[in-house]
Structure 1
């Protein structure tokens, strides 16, 4: 009986997710289609979508040290990717307009792919040229003062390790542009949608923010040094609060 209720709750939550996207989709797509500044309006509606869906699905948020974000400057946000729910969590966690890297496969989801594609950069992670072009596009947005968000593990972490090995893209981007990295630890999302299951449960997501990490001066080892420092910082946050 409990399993049936759990399945029905998941179906309700998924339907609510897409119903809200259908209602708010045009309010998200139209402003950002006209101008970069319009993206601020689009993100207001993205956060409304994420907040209403989370509330309706019994998901609560707890923020720690969010005041470390200076909203007047762009960052390259990195986070630990452990759940499919991160697509709804990240807009709530980041109080700025951002551009995110997204798996190309998600662009094929009807309507979702069209709406999210206005604020995401689809990338084929198996294709080096696609990855390079996606980073080049993020550089353009960063120069316009728009933050970027990257999951440096490159894929969802289903292992028991706090983090998977980091890819270099976000850190090369930081060294090339001089824009700081701001790590975010997302704790509890993998309990709401557990590993190996598509079922959704109510619960709390705790979000912890780090002090921004400035990139070192450009050198042969700058990218590796920054990646190692950021991974150590984020791993420490996860182990401390997880």
Structure 2
């Protein structure tokens, strides 16, 4: 039975890249204009959030369901974080925040044809193996924060291994939030690994649940508090992942009981 599914999964997976490529090509004239200056970034963000992300998510049969413990305030800056196990995390994060934000991401993504060209123009790239590059992130982030934007960092740094439940968090997001005394917005992405993992012949359409947790304030904290803050954020996201998993197991056991 699994062998019969593989051709359909293969076509569906290829469709993801077709959607990404076609939407970027079709929108590229607008992207070129809106990435030509930082003053157009709000318009660029609106376009990628409401058009590009929607086309890919709904075009793949993914349906975001977002639950919020606290609302993001318009015009306020935050550091947005979430667990990171799928390429669809980018699109789902765009759906989770109406406030414009800038991604901090690894420089290797700039090598992706077409996508990488615009990625370099709008994202803050970092080489995690280069101390100077990591330091420069703070300078570029400050400029974006001064413009009233938020910053998004996936503190795991990307986890292609599906056996990893929740990897250790890196310091960057927490150092940044403390340095500029802005709140951290922890989010838990429940289904992205199951829906569209890094394993090519896997996945399925369906709901993508997001839990936006109560924000973590950093007012009065110093760099010495970063470890405790990091562990607090990781614990919040980890507990929610366990809760989501327990819900799924309960649903499975319930459905098998009534068979």
Give TM-score scaled by structure 2 length. 0.86
| 8 A contact 2:70–2:213 mirrored in 1 | no
| 8 A contact 1:162–1:239 mirrored in 2 | no
Residue ranges of structure 2 left out of the alignment (5+ in a row): 246-259
* Displacement after TM superposition at 1:199 (Å): 4.7
Pairing of 1:89-104 with structure 2 (within 5 A): 89-104=92-107
Pairing of 1:1-242 with structure 2 (within 5 A): 1-36=4-39, 38-47=40-49, 48-65=51-68, 68-156=71-159, 158-197=161-200, 199-215=202-218, 217-219=220-222, 221-242=224-245
Say which SS state the counterpart of residue 122 (structure 1) adopts. Answer: strand
Find the aligned partners of 2:68 and 2:14 in 1 and give their Cα distance. 34
Please provide the CA RMSD for this pair.
Answer: 1.9
* Displacement after TM superposition at 1:190 (Å): 0.7
* Displacement after TM superposition at 1:200 (Å): 5.0
Find the aligned partners of 1:6 and 1:84 in 2 and give their Cα distance. 16
Find the aligned partners of 1:92 and 1:50 in 2 and give their Cα distance. 7
The 1:131–1:198 alpha-carbon spacing in structure 2 relative to 1, beyond 3 Å, is: farther
| 8 A contact 1:29–1:42 mirrored in 2 | no
| 8 A contact 1:73–1:145 mirrored in 2 | yes
Find the aligned partners of 1:117 and 1:204 in 2 and give their Cα distance. 31
Say which SS state the counterpart of residue 239 (structure 2) adopts. Answer: helix
Find the aligned partners of 1:3 and 1:169 in 2 and give their Cα distance. 39
| 8 A contact 2:74–2:99 mirrored in 1 | yes
The 1:131–1:238 alpha-carbon spacing in structure 2 relative to 1, beyond 3 Å, is: same
The structure whose Rg is larger is 2
| 8 A contact 1:13–1:200 mirrored in 2 | no
| 8 A contact 1:184–1:234 mirrored in 2 | yes
* Displacement after TM superposition at 1:66 (Å): 6.8
Report how many aligned residue pairs link the two structures.
Answer: 241
Following superposition, which runs of at least 4 residues in structure 1 exceed 4 angstroms of deviation?
Answer: none
Say which SS state the counterpart of residue 221 (structure 1) adopts. Answer: helix
The 1:6–1:215 alpha-carbon spacing in structure 2 relative to 1, beyond 3 Å, is: same
Residue ranges of structure 1 left out of the alignment (5+ in a row): none
| 8 A contact 2:162–2:197 mirrored in 1 | no
* Displacement after TM superposition at 1:91 (Å): 1.4
* Displacement after TM superposition at 1:206 (Å): 0.5
